[in-house]
Structures are given as structure tokens and as C-alpha cells.
Homo-oligomer: A and B are copies of this chain.
Amino acid sequence: MAKRKKKTHVKGNMLIAQSGGPTAVINQSLVGAVLEAKKHDCIEGIYGSLHGIQGILDENFVDLKRETERNLLAVANTPSSALGSVRKKPDAEDCAKMFEVMKKYNIRFFFYIGGNDSAETAHIVNQEARRQKYELHCYHICKTVDNDLRQNDHTPGFGSAARFVAQAFMGDNLDNRALPGVKINVIMGRHAGFLTAASALARVNEDDGPHLIYLPETTFKMGQFVKDVKAVYKRLGRCVIAVSEGISDARGVPIAAKLSSAAEKDSHGNVQLSGSGALGDQLAGVIKQKTSITRVRADTFGYLQRSFTGLVSEVDAAEAFRVGAAAVKSSVKADTDGSIAIKRKKGKRYAVEYKRVPLKSVARDTREMPANFINEAGNDVTQAFIDYAMPLVGKLPRIGRLKACPVKKC
């Protein structure tokens, strides 16, 4: 991991692919990488693989040099993986096949845009290349709405998803204020509560929701949940709650997984949590049963959080582009591989830098919310989290509230 200044001597084609859950800005990284690649002579063809490594196995490539810059920039501003995605962990046989293909197409620069599972895939590919002494500049380009990649202050995709969650809660809090009751909103995030925590950014006035926030990092106790809701409802006559889809019991079993006897799993072993309203409905049922509150509703924000059109954090979009470009810039130096991590600079004003880190250090294992972001009771976030997250989301819409001076009773 020494700094490599020297350019690589290898010349060849570049292959880029997208993997895992889409985000609102994942194409910014794709386009950032492609436009940067055009500046380097050592990169000849610029190929996109359709549906991640599946496209490599099937030799299903598209020629990204034949895209106009205008179209590329339109794609950059479009949510969800333009090259298609996949959730697939390559086995030994897949790896052998992928190398055959890469050699055949003289791929020397490989970029895989994704989360920790995708970093692991890139790492496996990279190790195989090294073992076979095939010069491949293998890079992972980070993205995930979960914000759970190690080495990163935050990840592209999170800021825009967090903005969606914050704007949704701003409105939903007002909806709940107009028609009071208990409202439960289930947010994405398997092991990391960052996105659920972003609901706190919606608060403007002291009595604004979310009034309670439950994260996967804290053990979820149904009895305490009911007590918490009752206490807020008694104080405000209403209660808005943010719940992560990944909330788990003391043994680490997701509450959502308990509901489904035949829970679906992908090839990375992840249980399906999104794409169902079951958790929210179950929690609403418990509140109806255990309290005298009659109006109890649950919404599950679902895939809208990661793929909504026309709603991004500008900071997030710009950073996603730059991470893609930075990976390509780094890859043309001799003997390099890695993942480009976003590091926040110290200082009062928000600023970041992009650093190359080892693939292994990002792959597989994820990170969770640090303890100082979660309040002691385990049902809210701290100011430290708000200070961390606000610059990533950008300026939120202004909320007006009536002064509401009472008319003297006759």
C-alpha cells in the first residue's frame, strides 16, 4: 500500500460493473470512472459488464466508448444501476471462468461498484489474478445506502437515501400531527442503523417526530418498545417511530425473520428483509393489542429509499462521481489495486478526501453505528450523529408552522 507514482506499463481494456442494491447515485460513479478512463492512453476499450459478474461469466459486455458524453451525463443523473446488477458470490469455478474471459478480452483494469459483498467479490477476483500472475488492476468502488462499509466516513448512496428518509419523515410527522395516532415507519438497514437514524434529521420543532428510533445496533425488547410508545403518546398525544428493518432480539435474531418460517436468502446468506410490510404490521399489531391507542399505522419505505427519481443529495452525487474517477486515476499507476474510501477531513467546514485502501479492509465485514451516535436508552440518536449526517444530506426543505395564537373564548 505504498504510494505508487509510476504509471503502469500494461495496456489493455477496462471492464466496469455494478453489483448489489442500486442507489440514486450509483451511475455517477460509473460515469465518473468512464469519463476519467477516456483520459488515459493505457486504457483502450472501456467495457461495461451487464448484471455484474454474471455479465463476465456470460461475456455480456457493452462498449461504453460508444456512448456520447451527453448521454453518459443523463445516465449519471438517473437512479439505479444502468448496467444492471446482481447478487452473486463467485465460487471457485466462477472465478476460473471469469479469468478465462478477462484474459480473452485483455481486461487489465477492473472496477466493481458495490458494497461489502461486492468488495469481497473484487477481492477474490484480485487474489486469483495475483495467483495467476496476471496483471489486473482490480478496484472496488464503494456504494451502499446502508453506509456500513469499513474504512469509509460514509458511502455514496447514503446521503441521497438519507435525504429521502428525512424528507419523508418531515412530511409524515406533519401528517401525524394533523391526524394524531401512532405511526411506525420501517427503514432499510440490515445491520447498520445509519439510514434509520437519518430520520432524526427531519426534526425542526421540539415536538417533531420521529419521537423514537430503533436501530439494529441496540437489542430490541418488545416490552420496552410498548412502554416507550405509551410514554410519548401520553406526553404528545401522538407518536412517530422509525424502526430499522434489521432490529433484532437479544440473541441477534431479526424480529422480521422471526415472522417468516421460510425466509428467503441470497447467495451471500442474507435473509430478505426488504420488499415486505410484515415487520411494520406486526409492530402496529402489538401496539394495538397492548395499549388503548386506536389509530396505529405502519408504512415500510421499501425500495423507494434507494431508487426514487429526482431526489438526490447534491453532495452525495458529486462524491459518487469523484469516487469513480479517483478509482480510475489510481488504477493507472504501477502495481495497484484497492478500494477508494471517503475520509472526512478534520476541521469545522465539511470536506473529504479519497484514499486508496486495501480491498480486504472493506470486504465482507461491515461496520455499525458507533456507540456515541446512539442515546443511552437505545431509542434515539445523539447530537453527534446529527452533526455527522447533516452535511451528507444537504439543506432540507423549509417547514412552516402557524404561530397559532388562540382566539379568546367567548
- Interface, chain A (partner B; CB < 8 A): 18, 21-22, 24, 27, 45, 47-48, 50-51, 59-64, 66-68, 71-87, 104-105, 167-168, 170-172, 174-175, 177-179, 183, 264, 274-278, 280-281, 284, 294, 296-304, 306-311, 396-407, 409-410
Contacts and interface: CB of A to CB of B under 8 A. Distances in A.
Contact of A275 (B45, B298, B303, B402): B298
Q: Is the interface of A mostly helix, strand, loop or mixed?
A: loop
23 contacts: A18-B178, A22-B175, A22-B178, A48-B402, A51-B178, A62-B404, A64-B402, A67-B402, A74-B399, A75-B402, A76-B400, A78-B174, A80-B174, A80-B177, A81-B178, A82-B178, A86-B179, A105-B410, A171-B303, A172-B304, A276-B281, A276-B284, A277-B278
A405 to B, nearest CB: 5
Given A74-B398, A80-B175, A167-B309, 11 more contacts: A62-B405, A68-B403, A75-B401, A78-B174, A78-B398, A78-B401, A80-B178, A105-B410, A170-B309, A172-B304, A275-B299
Copies of this chain, complex-wide, total 2
A292 to B, nearest CB: 14
A282 to B, nearest CB: 10
Given A280-B277, A399-B78, A400-B77, A175 B306 contact: yes
Contacts of A45: 407
A308 to B, nearest CB: 5
Contacts of A66: 403, 405
Contacts of A278: 277, 281
Contact of A167 (B168, B310, B397): B310
B167 A311 contact: yes
Contacts of A47: 407
Nearest to A169: B309
Contacts of A18: 178
Given A85-B179, A298-B276, A396-B310, A80 B171 contact: yes
A88 B176 CA distance: 16
Contacts of A311: 167, 310-311
A410 B104 contact: yes
A304 B63 contact: no
A297 to B, nearest CB: 3
A83 B72 CA distance: 46
Contacts of A300: 277, 299-300, 302
B171 A409 contact: no
Nearest to A30: B402
Contacts of A304: 168, 171-172, 299, 301, 304
Nearest to A276: B281
Given A310-B396, A402-B67, A303 B79 contact: no
Given A105-B410, A171-B308, A403-B66, A281 B274 contact: no
Question: Which 7 pairs show the lowest CB-CB distances between chains A and B?
Answer: A277-B277, A275-B297, A74-B400, A299-B302, A80-B174, A310-B397, A171-B307
A178 B84 contact: yes
A401 B302 contact: no
A127 to B, nearest CB: 25
B309 A303 contact: no
Given A276-B281, A278-B281, A304-B171, A309 B78 contact: no
Nearest to A64: B402
A11 B267 CA distance: 74
A77 B66 CA distance: 44
Nearest to A186: B277
A24 B74 contact: no
